[in-house]
Amino acid sequence: MAKALLQLIQLEFPDAVLETHSQHGDDTVVVDPGAWKAVARFCKDQLAMEMLADLTCVDWPHREPRFDVVAHLHSLSKGQRLRLKARVGDAEGEHAAIDSLTELWASANWAEREAWDMFGVVFTDHPDLRRILTYPEFVGHALRKDYPADRIQPLVPYREVENIEKLPPFDHHEGMSFGRQTHLASRGDD
Amino acid sequence: MGELKAPTTQEVLETGQGQGFATTKFEDLLAWAQKYSLFMYPFVTACCGMEFMSVSGPRFDHSRFGAEVPRFTPRQSDLLWVVGTIVQRQAPVLKRIYEQMAEPKWVLAFGTCASVGGFYDNYACVAGIDKIIPADVYIPGCPPRPEAVLDGLLLLQDKIQSGDRRPGIVKPRFDPVARPDMGVVQLRRSKHG
C-alpha cells in the first residue's frame, strides 16, 4: 500500500529522488536537498500528509554529505506514514542548508530550530531561526559527533572551591564498566 | 477546696520545686528554634519531584520535623530544597534564588542529579549544584527513598543545632550486599558460574 506512495513521488520527481527503501513498514524517500520543499509540498497537497510528526537530523561524521535531515510525515486521513530524508553539509559540517518547511507545517518551526541548535543545519527562509534548547551564549552545536563529550559552557562561573571541577566517577578506574568516549577517540579505533 | 497559688520565682529557686526551668545558651536556644521551623523553598525541576511529593505526603510527612511550610518566595524561606537536575541554562536562576534568600539559609541537594549530576555527564547539565551554590546536605539516590530524605533532614537539623556548616552526606541505613534477606537482587556473572 504504502509503496505506492514511493512510486507516486518517484513519478512526480524522477530526478530529485535519490533512493527509496521500504522495510518493516517504514517507507523512506531520500531526495535531493534542492527539491526538499517541493517534495514536501507534493506530499502535503497530493498525498494528504497533513501532519509533520517530527523533523530532526542525523550526523554521519565519516560521510559526505554529512547530515541527514529527516522529516516524519503522517497522514491522519489515510493512516499512512512517510519519511523524507535529504543529505546536506560537507565533511566539516559547513554549508549545511536546506529549505524551511514552516510555510507548509507550523510544527516545523520549533523542530527546525532544534535541528539548527543541535546540528547547525541552516533552514533558509525560517522566520525565527534561534537556539531553542541551549542558550544564546552557547558556542557550537552540541549533538554533532565532533562536539567534545566533556565540553561544558557554564553560564554561571563555578565556585572557587577545592576539587570543584571533579567530574562524576565515570572512568574505568572509578568503578564504571564504561568510560567516557569521544568521537575523536573512536575515530582512532576504526 | 485548697487554695491554688502559683509559686513565686523566689520559691522555685530556693526549693527546686514548682513549674521548673532550664538553663541554656542563647545560641543553642536560637538554633533549636531554627531547626524546627525550616521554611522551605522547593526548587523542584525533575523526576525526583515525585519522591518529594511522597515525602511531603501523609505517609512520610516531613512536617513532623517542623519543616513543611513551603514558601514560594526566597525572601521568606531559609531551606532551599534543590530537587532534580539543574541544567546550565537554569543555573543563573538557581543562583539568584539562593542569593535572594535571607541569612541564615541552608541548602539540601535532593537526589543524585542535584548532588553530583548523576549520569547527565554532558553539555547541558550542571554536575552538582555545589558547582554554583554551597550545599549543606547531599541525599544520594535516584530518586532517594523517603527514609533517606528524612535522614537528610534530621542530619541537617543536627548540623543546625551544632552550628556545623560542613557538608554532610546521608549514609545508607545498611549495606544491601550484607543483607541478602532484604530481597536485594544478586548479580551473577554467568548462569552456570
What are B97-135's pLDDT values in tens digits? 999 999 889 999 999 889 888 788 889 999 889 889 999
**Interface residue B123 vs chain A (CB under 8 A):** yes
What count of other Cβ atoms lies within 10 Å of the Cβ of residue B17?
9
Nearest-5° Cα angle at A134, A125 to A180: 125
Q: Which of A130, A155, A178 to mutate to test the interface with B (most CBs of B within 10 A)?
A: A155
Does residue A182 surpass a pLDDT of 50? no
With bands split at pLDDT 50, 70 and 90, how would you rate the model's confidence at B190? Answer: low
Identity of the residue in A142, A158, A164 whose CB atom sits nearest the CB atom of B123: A142
Does residue A184 surpass a pLDDT of 60? no
**Interface residue B95 vs chain A (CB under 8 A):** yes
**Domains within chain B, CATH numbers bracketed:** 42-172 (3.40.50.12280)
Does residue A165 surpass a pLDDT of 80? no
The nearest CA of chain A is from the CA of B190 a distance in Å of: 17
pTM of the model: 0.80
Q: What cell numbers appear for B57 in the block?
A: 505526603
Question: Got the DSSP string for A38-96?
Answer: HHHHHHHHTS---EEEEEEEEE-TTSSS-EEEEEEEEETTTTEEEEEEEEE--TTSTT-
**Interface residue A139 vs chain B (CB under 8 A):** no
With bands split at pLDDT 50, 70 and 90, how would you rate the model's confidence at A179? Answer: very low
Query: pLDDT digits over A70-80, tens only?
Result: 999 999 998 88
**Which chain B residues have a beta carbon less than 8 Å from that of A158?**
131-132
Average pLDDT over residues B139-150: 89
Please tell me the predicted confidence (pLDDT) of residue B18.
60
Mean pLDDT over all residues of chain B? 84
The complex's ipTM? 0.77
Side chain identity, residue B12: V
Does residue B67 surpass a pLDDT of 90? no
**Interface residue B46 vs chain A (CB under 8 A):** no
Q: What percent of chain B has pLDDT over 90?
A: 44
Query: pLDDT digits over B10-57, tens only?
Result: 777 777 666 666 788 899 999 999 999 899 999 999 999 999 999 998
Task: Spell out the residues 6+ positions from residue A173 whose beta carbon is closer than 8 angstroms to its own.
Answer: none
Closest by Cα among B84, B117, B94, B86 to A150: B117
Query: pLDDT digits over A30-59, tens only?
Result: 999 999 999 999 999 999 999 999 999 999
- DSSP class of residue A125? T
Side chain identity, residue A131: R
Count Cβ–Cβ pairs < 8 Å, chain A vs chain B.
51
Q: Which CATH architecture has domain A2-189?
A: 2-Layer Sandwich (3.30)
**Interface residue A60 vs chain B (CB under 8 A):** no
What count of other Cβ atoms lies within 10 Å of the Cβ of residue A95?
10
Mean pLDDT over all residues of chain A? 84
With bands split at pLDDT 50, 70 and 90, how would you rate the model's confidence at B2? Answer: low
Task: Spell out the residues 6+ positions from residue A34 whose beta carbon is closer than 8 angstroms to its own.
Answer: A16
Does residue A149 surpass a pLDDT of 60? yes
**Which chain A residues have a beta carbon less than 8 Å from that of B130?**
159, 161, 164
Q: Cβ contact (<8 Å) for B127 and A170?
A: no
Q: Cβ contact (<8 Å) for B122 and A149?
A: yes
Q: What cell numbers appear for A48 in the block?
A: 494528504
**Interface residue A56 vs chain B (CB under 8 A):** no
A96 and A80 in contact (C-beta within 8 Å)?
no
Number of H helices, E strands in chain A: 4, 7
Query: Which conformational region is residue B155 in: left (phi greater than 0), alpha (psi within -120 to 50 degrees), or beta?
Result: alpha
Q: Cβ contact (<8 Å) for A153 and B131?
A: no
Query: Which conformational region is residue B107 in: left (phi greater than 0), alpha (psi within -120 to 50 degrees), or beta?
Result: beta
**Interface residue A11 vs chain B (CB under 8 A):** no
The nearest CA of chain B is from the CA of A153 a distance in Å of: 7
Determine the straight-line distance between the first and last CA of chain B, rounded to whole angstroms: 85
Q: Which of A156, A160, A174, A178 to mutate to test the interface with B (most CBs of B within 10 A)?
A: A156
Identity of the residue in B95, B121, B134 whose CB atom sits nearest the CB atom of A168: B121
Does residue A110 surpass a pLDDT of 70? yes
